[in-house]
Amino acid sequence: MFAVSSGPRSSVMSPLREPLPWQGPQWERILPALTGDAVPHALLLAGPAGLGKRLFSDLLGRALMCDDRGGTGTPCGQCGQCTLMEAGTHPDSYRLAAEAEKSNILVDQVRQLGHFVALTRNQGHYKVAVIEGADRMNAAAANSLLKTLEEPPDRTVMILVSDRPGGLPATVRSRCQRIDFRIPPRELTETWLGTGTGTEEQDRALAMARGAPLAVRVLLENEAPGRARLVLDGIEGMLSGTKSPVTVARETSDMEVSVLLDWMLGWLTDRARSLSKGAAHPVGERAGLPIPGRVQDFRLESVMALYNQFVDMKRGLHSGQNQELLREDIMLAWLSAASGNPGGANG
């Protein structure tokens, strides 16, 4: 098992030399196949966001290529293969994700991946392809990938990374060996953060991030618990009639829309759990902050309608959208739900 490393120094992490502390079980699971040169041709790394699945896929890719792996199977970081992998210039490595202004991974991107997979290995021990956010493939892209998965070339490993594995077609999931990542014990996260225990800000961040360590770190670095409190105050003012949706949208203009939606989804999840006979929060807490008072009166169907609307908004996010209008749409959705329209602003 791997020791707990010291806390992170910044939001940008250098390539891992070993799995993150909570990823030990997942690495131990793949280790026999790695050392025995029998890694499955397709892996699905599945679990909540903020657990470092992308970092794990990078570590595994470098380990597959490394000329001098140690007893733990981790890459040496010094050989020629490792140097090329860390520089992102290895000819036998490929990484695919949704394009900057697209919400989905498109079929042409997967076809390009297929062309890469079909090429003869250049110098690596394997050909390694990583698909980040694999559940964001549209139907045509998933069907295209399926053809590659059904007839994988020798010594080719495809690693699919997904926060929402249920969004992948069953035919794709069934052709991958799945490795699940789970929220670690709170004590492990606190040790890794290296910030001590019991502070109000950290407690809120842990709850807001649902206990996902990397997400907790980002929230703390961005002073998110305090900023979230301002958002809630703005929503409360809007619902009570003292502020307009436009005003509240402007007050949140320095915050990423995706982050706003994540916070709101957490608050609505807490309300839904409360309405569903007090179901337990994943880390034994609420989402760090109370939701606006009037939302306490929402019916379960209104809570779920608003939740689903925010999920749809998040899935459709891309950098080309007008962020100001999106924030206004979010606030209008709150108002519409509060007025008793379960369909939200556009219902």
pLDDT band at 227 (very low <50, low <70, confident <90, very high): confident
Q: What pTM was estimated for this model as a whole?
A: 0.78
Q: What is the CATH number of the domain that holds 49?
A: 3.40.50.300
Tokens found for residue 227: 């900023």
Residue at 279: amino acid letter: A
Q: Are strands 177-180 and 93-96 parallel, antiparallel or unpaired?
A: unpaired
Assigned domain for 270 exists: yes
User: Looking at the domain assignment, is residue 14 inside a domain?
Assistant: no
Query: Per residue in 27-36, pLDDT tens?
Result: 999 999 999 9
171 and 42 belong to one structural domain:
yes
Which of 180, 210, 226 terminates a domain? The answer is 180
Residues 174 and 218 in one domain: no
Which residue segment(s) compose the domain that 239 sits in? 194-338
Domain count, the chain: 2
Residues 111 and 28 in one domain: yes
| Residue range 81-109: mean pLDDT, rounded | 90
Together in a domain, 127 and 249: no
**200 and 120 assigned to the same domain:** no
| Span 278-331, pLDDT tens digits | 554 444 445 556 666 566 667 788 888 899 999 888 877 776 778 889 999 999
Residues 149 and 225 grouped into a single domain: no
Same domain, 99 and 200: no
Residue ending a domain, among 150, 180, 210, is 180
The per-residue pLDDT for 277 is 63
Domain end among 180, 211, 239: 180
pLDDT band at 223 (very low <50, low <70, confident <90, very high): confident
Residues 99 and 139 in one domain: yes
**Percent of the chain whose predicted confidence (pLDDT) is above 90:** 47
The pLDDT value recorded for residue 195 is 64
Strands (E), 126-239: 127-131, 156-162, 177-180
Q: Is residue 77 part of a domain?
A: yes
pLDDT at 319: 62
H or E segment and range at residue 93: strand 93-96
